[in-house]
Amino acid sequence: MKKIYEKIIKDKCSKDNYLKLTCIKNIKFFDFLGEFVRLCNPKRIFVRSDSLEDAEYIRKKAIEYGEERPLAIAGHTVHFDGIFDQGRDKEVTKYLLKKGVNLGKNINSISRTKGLKEIKELLRNSMKDREMIVGFFGLGPLNSPFFIPAVQLTDSFYVVHSEGILYRSAYEAFKKLNSKEDFFRFVHSSGVLEGGVSKDVDKKRIYIDLEEDTIYSVNTQYAGNTVGLKKLALRLAIRKASKEGWLAEHMLIIGVKGKNNRTTYFCGAFPSACGKTSTAMLKGETIVGDDIAYLRKIGGKVRAVNVERGIFGIIQDVNPNTDPLIWQAINTEGEVIFTNVLVSNEGVPYWLGDGRQCPSRGINFSGEWYQGKIDKTGNEIPPAHKNARYTISLMKLENCDTNIDNPLGVEIEAIIYGGRDSDIWPPVQQSFDWVHGVITMGASLESETTSATLGREGIRTFNLMSNLDFLSIPIGVYIKNHLKFVKGVKNIPLIFSVNYFLRDEKGAYICSFEDKRVWLKWMELRVHNEVEAIKTPTGFIPYYYDLKRLFNDYLNRDYSTESYVKQFTLRIPQNISKIDRIINIYKENVADYPQIMFKVLKQQKNRLINVQRRHGDYIDPFVLERISLEDER
């Protein structure tokens, strides 16, 4: 430790906390800690080890300082973010880039010199009269080839409490790091507080320094901006993965049950509020993770781990009918943090779509709330925010997969891409091969915007692999990494697309909430080559008789030919428009796209045009079946 830091750190630590620090031998850690202790100037420092006593101290302090409030059920608390701090803020989330470094048009950035000067000035004395918490966590299972150590410095007990639920505690692992080993670094301050929330949200900043693997955030409390190990760490991991030949993805991991008790593991990429968590929580299956996955090639197979051990999930529409396992977990004793819900006078949380009668009064993110309350612009304030959340450990769930902490992860045999799409993709289809799937499904993914990010809702946006917001490398490099990733893999995962949001001509959804169980079971059968499929210009789709059987077996429902035709009709004009749109996006915004992209997209467009000339704009799946058989002959 540098002498200039040793005294300042020691003076701000109790004897016990300083002793915890001296057990760590990594010099880079002490230089990092010393710099920000001196800059942020906390009154004292608390060091979180892996002990239960330290975890309890953090829980108590979060309540003592008003960052969380206890609820009626033991172990449950609620946290409120400011009314203007309710989602990831893309506008002020920027990469700090050195001169000459360009990540592309879609990536928000600022000069590294200018950005560091600005953020450090905002952090200066930001923790005066407060406690700095030093948290040690791991991304991925400990003692694993996937493991990445991380350190969080924050003045928010809510932030480090959340991380204690969501991530593996890694103080003991840090003690084993040598002086040269590196780690991810996160520095956060809530800034000036007013009414318990960040006051200076106009000075909110989330800056990402790729040179030092460091994330800075200030004047914000929303977990997506402050819990460093979540989407902020994903940005660092994507760059690290690109250098080292693996993938860091915005993906769930689910174990799908099949014949003779077999389990087939899928990864799935969905933008926020597009059915990701509900897919990961499907009845009868097991969950490894709902949000972020690392994928590596090990022994000729694609294997993946959940970076986390918990869920920071959108709570809107969680109720006993739609999400029975989550409902059970968040209504039983044990650690649960609710955010931006409505709390009744009895300490009971309510949220949008929970199926209960909402109280006429209570406390929410706007303070004291009552029916009809309006904000400064005259808009009525809802009882709970659309992006209200719950934070729980995966261990609270009955369907938590036994391999969640397996150091080698699980073998991935299929990958799903899905978004909000009202009129193009069918509910499920399979790509022709890995390259076709990466390009036409992953790299062409579009979705309507939701409340999980700030801004307008319902706007169709390009979001390749559901990872665009988090890219820290050029888009072209990212796609090339995917295309070459399976080189040397013996059992290349199949790629599928799903669409739970297809609508009819009147705007009504034509898939029910439960239907995704059937789509998943069909995909599992395809992985094991146990059902045939219809070849269409855009991929393989199910035969009617297979779906009819699956709907009966898993949903006890009769599946009509009318539903099949509505759901699986090929919409050629919309598909062609999408291809043209995607080609234009890449031509206008991506300088280094792989040439094979346009070749594959144009081939798909030509297939669509050829079948359109013979059969018209809209072709039902029974006609597609006949065309497929004719082509085979």
For residue 84, the model assigns a pLDDT of 86
Over residues 12-68, the pLDDT tens digits come to 999 999 999 999 999 999 999 999 999 999 999 999 999 999 999 999 999 999 999
Q: Give me the torsion for CA of 540, 546, 550, 551, rounded to 10°.
A: 90
**Domain-located, residue 207:** yes
Q: Is 400 a catalytic residue?
A: no
Q: Are residues 320 and 299 in the same domain?
A: no
Q: Are residues 381 and 426 in the same domain?
A: no
For residue 89, the model assigns a pLDDT of 85
Among 179, 197, 229, where does a domain finish?
229
Count: domains in the chain: 3
**Domain-located, residue 74:** no
Over residues 119-159, the pLDDT tens digits come to 999 999 999 999 999 999 999 999 999 999 999 999 999 99
For residue 43, the model assigns a pLDDT of 97
Q: Which CATH number does the domain housing residue 347 bear?
A: 2.170.8.10
The mean pLDDT of the chain is 94
For residue 453, the model assigns a pLDDT of 53
Domain assignment of residue 269, given as a range: 247-309+404-632
User: How many Å apart are CA 203 and CA 455, to the nearest integer?
Assistant: 18
User: How many Å apart are CA 14 and CA 390, to the nearest integer?
Assistant: 34
Q: Where are the beta strands (DSSP E) in 344-388?
A: 349-350, 361-364, 367-370
Q: Between 9 and 450, whose confidence is greater?
A: 9
Identify which of 257, 357, 267 has the alpha carbon closest to the alpha carbon of residue 306: 267
- The 10 Å Cβ neighbour count of residue 363 is 17
190, pLDDT greater than 90: yes
Q: How far apart are the first and last CA of the chain?
A: 75
Over residues 200-230, the pLDDT tens digits come to 999 999 999 999 999 999 999 999 999 999 9
**Domain-located, residue 76:** no
585, pLDDT greater than 90: yes
For residue 322, the model assigns a pLDDT of 84
Which ranges of 131-175 does DSSP label H, i.e. alpha helix? 157-166, 171-175
User: How many Å apart are CA 346 and CA 338, to the nearest integer?
Assistant: 15
569, pLDDT greater than 90: yes
455, pLDDT greater than 90: no
**Domain-located, residue 239:** no
186 φ/ψ angles, rounded to the nearest 5 degrees:
-135, 130
440 φ/ψ angles, rounded to the nearest 5 degrees:
-85, -15
For residue 276, the model assigns a pLDDT of 86
pLDDT level of residue 427 (50, 70, 90 thresholds): very high
For residue 78, the model assigns a pLDDT of 98
Q: Are residues 573 and 610 in the same domain?
A: yes
Q: Are residues 317 and 305 in the same domain?
A: no
For residue 231, the model assigns a pLDDT of 93
350, pLDDT greater than 80: yes
Residue 289 CA, chain-centre distance (Å), reads 10
For residue 4, the model assigns a pLDDT of 81
pLDDT level of residue 104 (50, 70, 90 thresholds): confident
449, pLDDT greater than 70: no
Q: Which CATH number does the domain housing residue 220 bear?
A: 3.40.449.10
236, pLDDT greater than 80: yes
Percentage of residues in the chain having pLDDT higher than 70: 97
| Structure tokens, 474 | 């050029």
Over residues 366-381, the pLDDT tens digits come to 999 999 999 888 999 9
**Domain-located, residue 235:** no
374 φ/ψ angles, rounded to the nearest 5 degrees:
-120, 155
The residues, any chain, with a CB within 8 Å of residue 454's CB and separated by 6 or more, are 86, 87, 88, 89, 90, 91
Across-strand partners of 105?
Answer: none
Find the mean pLDDT for residues 193-197.
Answer: 86
User: How many Å apart are CA 615 and CA 569, to the nearest integer?
Assistant: 12
**Domain-located, residue 196:** yes
For residue 591, the model assigns a pLDDT of 80
Give the active site residue among 274, 358, 400, 511: 274
User: How many Å apart are CA 520 and CA 498, to the nearest integer?
Assistant: 9
Q: Are residues 294 and 325 in the same domain?
A: no
- The 10 Å Cβ neighbour count of residue 179 is 11
Find the mean pLDDT for residues 592-611.
Answer: 95
Q: Which CATH number does the domain housing residue 291 bear?
A: 3.90.228.20
**Domain-located, residue 238:** no
Three-state secondary-structure class, residue 161 = helix
Q: Are residues 412 and 383 in the same domain?
A: no
272, pLDDT greater than 80: no
**Domain-located, residue 199:** yes
Identify which of 141, 140, 186, 139 has the alpha carbon closest to the alpha carbon of residue 159: 186
Q: Are residues 342 and 419 in the same domain?
A: no
Across-strand partners of 369?
Answer: 362
Q: Give me the torsion for CA of 403, 322, 416, 464, rounded to 10°.
A: -120
For residue 85, the model assigns a pLDDT of 86
Find the mean pLDDT for residues 384-396.
Answer: 95
For residue 1, the model assigns a pLDDT of 58
578, pLDDT greater than 90: yes
pLDDT level of residue 632 (50, 70, 90 thresholds): low
Percentage of residues in the chain having pLDDT higher than 90: 84
Residue type, 552: N
DSSP per residue, 436-489: HHIIIIITT-EEE--TTBSS-SS-EEE-GGG-GGG--S-HHHHHHHHHHHTTT-
Q: Is pTM beyond 0.85 here?
A: yes
624, pLDDT greater than 90: yes
Q: Are residues 492 and 381 in the same domain?
A: no
Say if CB 601 and CB 579 are below 8 A apart: yes
Find the mean pLDDT for residues 309-320.
Answer: 94
User: How many Å apart are CA 397 and CA 294, to the nearest integer?
Assistant: 22
454, pLDDT greater than 80: no
Q: Are residues 470 and 606 in the same domain?
A: yes
Identify which of 226, 248, 261, 371 has the alpha carbon closest to the alpha carbon of residue 307: 248
Among 375, 396, 417, where does a domain finish?
396
User: How many Å apart are CA 480 and CA 128, to the nearest integer?
Assistant: 47
pLDDT level of residue 456 (50, 70, 90 thresholds): low
3-state secondary structure 509-578: ECCCHHHHHHHHHHHHHHHCCCCCCEEECCEEECCHHHHHHHHHHHHCCCCCHHHHHHHHCEEHHHHHHH
User: How many Å apart are CA 229 and CA 308, to the nearest integer?
Assistant: 9
User: How many Å apart are CA 351 and CA 390, to the nearest integer?
Assistant: 11
The residues, any chain, with a CB within 8 Å of residue 125's CB and separated by 6 or more, are 40, 41
Q: Are residues 435 and 562 in the same domain?
A: yes
Q: Are residues 172 and 201 in the same domain?
A: yes
Among 367, 396, 425, where does a domain finish?
396
Q: Are residues 586 and 573 in the same domain?
A: yes
